[in-house]
Amino acid sequence: MLTALMILVVVFSNAAGDVFLTKGMKQVGDVSALAKGQIWASIKQTAFNVNFILGVACLAVSFFSFLAVLSWANLSFVVPATAIVYVVTVLGAKIFLAEKVDRLRWGGTLLICCGVGLVCLPEGISLSLAMARKSLEVVFGALTMASVCYYFVAIIAAERFFGKTGKQKQFLDTSIPPTGSTPAALKPPVSLLVPLCGADFRACQNYASLCRQDYPQFEIIFGVADPADSSILVVNKLKADFPDVAVKLVVSSEKIGPNPKVNSLNNMLSQASYETLLMLDSDIRVGPGFISQISQELLGLGQGLLTCLYRAGEAPGLASTFEALGISSDFAPGVFVAQMGGGISFAFGACIALTKKTLQAIGGFPAIAPYLADDYMLGNLVYKAGFPVKLSKCVVETVLSRLTTAGFLKHQLRWQRGIRACAPLGHTGSVITNGTALSFFFFASCGFSRFGLIVFAVAVALRLFMAWMVGVRRMQDDILKHFLPLVPFRDFLGLLIWAAALFGNRVEWRGRVFRLEKDGKITPRHAFS
């Protein structure tokens, strides 16, 4: 126990020292090109750099901890076991220094993890059930440790993204328009595109929130493929209730690919009068200052793409509640970590803002029509084209319909398989977000020992703390606030769905069945049945 603890101290203090030193030397600048007269000044600047001092202190802690553990453990065990510092250092470079790490380097890091796991096995162990249990103990122990680290990083990432607490309410409360006044010349007209497929739960209220915008010039375009779609009645009522708002309805079954949502977006595009496009899912509800906030952020971005995080506004039923809990306690923290680690290269269908010029630059909607995760691919193609992809500080609300248990599982499985196809490394790494389940399996692999129980309890406590800090405090998710104790149970479901997503290629979407290809593209069922 003490040996493992000291090795962790050696590893994390060493990695922290390397990160601090690198950050400090980046601030000092390139010393290789210094003239002789500048060397002494550079040494003084380095010596008084805060990051340099912290780095040296961390490395000192690591060194003396290493000496301490050598005083009672074997060198052949200690040195290989502390090699996991390479893994932690790569993660630190990615998250805190925003360095780009390619697949080959990640692969090498994974091999180091495997080697460390083998080295840490007890001496004299033989191939037996005991060895299998010990192997599982090491694997789940490492994953639990990674989960705990991830929770701390997620909290830091969310705090860093939203900044001072005083600014939090302005961005997150969708019922409050942005403070201050903006000249009308800096408020470009906006076309809202909302694809529909059946009337969603609270559809009237959701669509009405779009009409109550405190913005000088905008239009709302709804699109359906079926002339008998139930949402058409809701749109017609909306036109009657808000005669002063430009509301259009496009009914067209024309297809440019297998993705029905993208087909509707493409059919609506020809009716969009303005250059700035704002695409929303049909279950999204916003406040009166929404367009104003988004348009200003997009203007500051220039040619690029802006996307919004979301929280659940309503979730009737237990299955819908479990769906809602995952949004702010699982999905959002992962996005904040990605944002802190160098920015995002994807988008979310809840809200996407860009210009027609940007859309045309990536090939228009036909470029994403073959894919299941059209929102992810839209952001990714914009990113690959060299344009910025930014996460807005505006958070919208999604109004979930009442789900059955089967409906919840099908939706989550479709989402996870979509991630696996588009970002396989991201899907693999996301296993550590289910820390409660991982720590329980560590507890079980330890033979339900007291130490395993302590690890499990600490992991659950940190999981709930992260969910509160990110989901409740920063995302202001009231559903998560009231049902916070259910989060650990959702972790078990999350791990089960994550594992199920590794197998199979069948996905269901709004009553349609598709086959998911390895590159993220989809084929309708009738094409392969």
Q: What is the pLDDT of residue 276?
A: 95
CA 199 to chain centre: 28
CA distance 223 to 235: 10
pLDDT tens for 113-128 read 777 666 666 555 554 5
Q: What is the pLDDT of residues 176-233, one digit of tens each?
A: 444 445 555 578 999 999 999 988 888 899 999 999 999 999 999 999 999 999 999 9
pLDDT in tens, 20-31: 888 877 776 766
Per residue in 63-104, pLDDT (tens digit) is: 888 888 888 777 777 777 777 777 788 877 777 777 777 667
Question: What's the rounded Cα separation, in Å, for the pair 254 and 223?
Answer: 11
Summarised one tens digit per residue, pLDDT across range 383-403 is: 999 999 999 989 999 999 999
pLDDT band at 167 (very low <50, low <70, confident <90, very high): very low
Summarize pLDDT for 223-280 with one digit per residue, the tens.
Answer: 999 999 999 999 999 999 999 999 999 999 999 999 999 999 999 999 999 999 999 9
Closest CA to 518 of 426, 421, 416: 421
Distance CA 303, CA 309 (A): 20
pLDDT of residue 354: 96
pLDDT tens by residue, 30-53: 666 555 666 666 677 777 777 788
Residues 473 and 172: beta-carbon distance below 8 Å: no
| Spatial separation of the C-alpha atoms in residues 480 and 4, rounded to whole Å | 35
Q: Output the six-digit token pair for 335.
A: 């996005």
Which of these, 391, 411, 312, 300, lies nearest to 347 by C-alpha position? 391
Phi and psi dihedrals of 220, rounded to 5? -120, 125
